[in-house]
Amino acid sequence: MTVELVDEDGAGALPLYFVGKDRLAEIGLDAAALEWAAANGFSGEAGRLLPVPGPGGAISAALFGTGDEARTGLAAGALGRSLPQGAWKLANAGEPAQAALGIMLGNYVFTRYGKKPGRDLRLALPAGVDRDRLRAAADAVRLVRDLVNTPTADMGPAALEEAVRRLAGTHGASVSSIAGDDLLAANFPMIHAVGRASAEAPRLIDMGWGDPGAPKVTLVGKGVCFDTGGLDIKPSSGMLLMKKDMGGAANVLGLASMIMAAKLAVRLRVLVPAVENSIAGNAFRPGDVLASRKGITVEIGNTDAEGRLVLGDALALADEEAPDLLIDMATLTGAARVALGPDLPPFYTDDDGFADELARSAEAVEDPVWRMPLWKPYEARLASKIADTNNVTTDGFAGSVTAALFLKKFVDRARSWAHFDIFAWVPVEKPHAPVGGEAQAIRALEHLLDRRYGRA
């Protein structure tokens, strides 16, 4: 199941026409094709594909309805699953790069555990489309989806580290890892506490790439490979999708792959605290007080709020070198889904300029995000009577906001910081995305970084 990008004049490429609602007459089809469309009741309704026969009955073209949408964009992703196999050219797409990306993303099938239906396509692109960037974006999304879709039995902390090492090997990046009790010696007590009850040792994975003198961009991804909830155990229904609790790590790796493929003029660092939040006699407990790398003591109000703990230690490390831009991504709170649903990830930042840039980039590449407030008065709800802070509030209000405020305690040197509370999952099929693991916000972020820093 692949989409191969070929030259526009690729031999035998058939034309694919994008047709708005009731605008069939505007695309210059011959009389026979118009009659065929009329006979089949095709008028450009959104998402409908109509192959057009030529002499002898063989397919000579295809029509794809875009409805009332002004943009073709990622809606073309449905074609990745419905176009007949073979070579196609985008005859009249207003945004050929975005339509092509939609087709490439919609073509994705997760095949690790069995054969699934799919199709191989060749897509001829017009001159001026950056094919390398398209491939990099599609490869990044596929990487994220593959990592998130893989069950924890095959994607525990060690396997996640191996995935980082494979990515690093592709791009000539360096990787180091601190695991098990060495985390205590290296002063990462919260990562150790969250992961120590698992049969697999917790670890902090550190990948570096790029010119040391370039602006520092650091990505931190929550790598909780499975979350039982710890001693505050989740119900079985709450655990069903917890293989995706490393979706933040998967997404920062996808973003890193695009940054490195584009050779952006940055010094990239990626930090992944990789753990399982398991249950055993040595599991951390509600009421425990944990030390942290930052020196902040944290009372545990709920062991199921573990992601912010491992992120706290990783963010403290990242912040020590005062990066130009520090971004963390995490499947952190159900409250974010209640507020904005599965498709619109919230982000938090004090940097208005960054937020404005990101909004423009998100619109440009159809990768939606929504800024939420770091509402300082809510910070008091994280108060503890015996420690510097609690890891949760007691009233249950504004859970995503207070989680972001907790993380902010561990960042004070970075020139700019942003936290993304993502879902990393598609619960209902979209044209460009099947049900399963998903990349969120990383294409918007890569667009921003490319515009801000340029290429080396």
Q: What is the end-to-end Cα distance of the chain in Å, rounded?
A: 33
Rg of the Cα trace of the chain? Answer: 24
Secondary structure class of 416 (helix, strand, coil): coil
Of 21, 135, 165, 234, catalytic: 234
| Sign, Cα dihedral of 193, 199, 203, 205 | negative
From CA 100, how far away is CA 134, in angstroms rounded? Answer: 8
Q: Is residue 344 within 8 Å of residue 367, measured between CB atoms?
A: no
371-377, Cβ contacts within 8 angstroms, sequence gap of 24 or more: 371/346, 371/347, 372/339, 372/346, 372/347, 372/348, 372/400, 372/401, 372/404, 373/348, 373/401, 374/348, 374/349, 374/350, 374/401, 374/404, 374/405, 374/408, 375/401, 375/405, 376/405
From CA 80, how far away is CA 395, in angstroms rounded? Answer: 46
One-character DSSP codes across 73-121 = GGGGGGHHHHSPSEEEEESS-SSHHHHHHHHHHHT----TTS------E
| Sign, Cα dihedral of 97, 102, 107, 109 | positive
Neighbours of 85 (CB within 10 A): 10
308 is catalytic: yes
Of 308, 409, 443, 452, catalytic: 308
131 is catalytic: no
From CA 399, how far away is CA 417, in angstroms rounded? Answer: 19
Q: ∠ CA 380-383-384 to the nearest 5 degrees? A: 170
Kindly list the catalytic residues: 234, 308
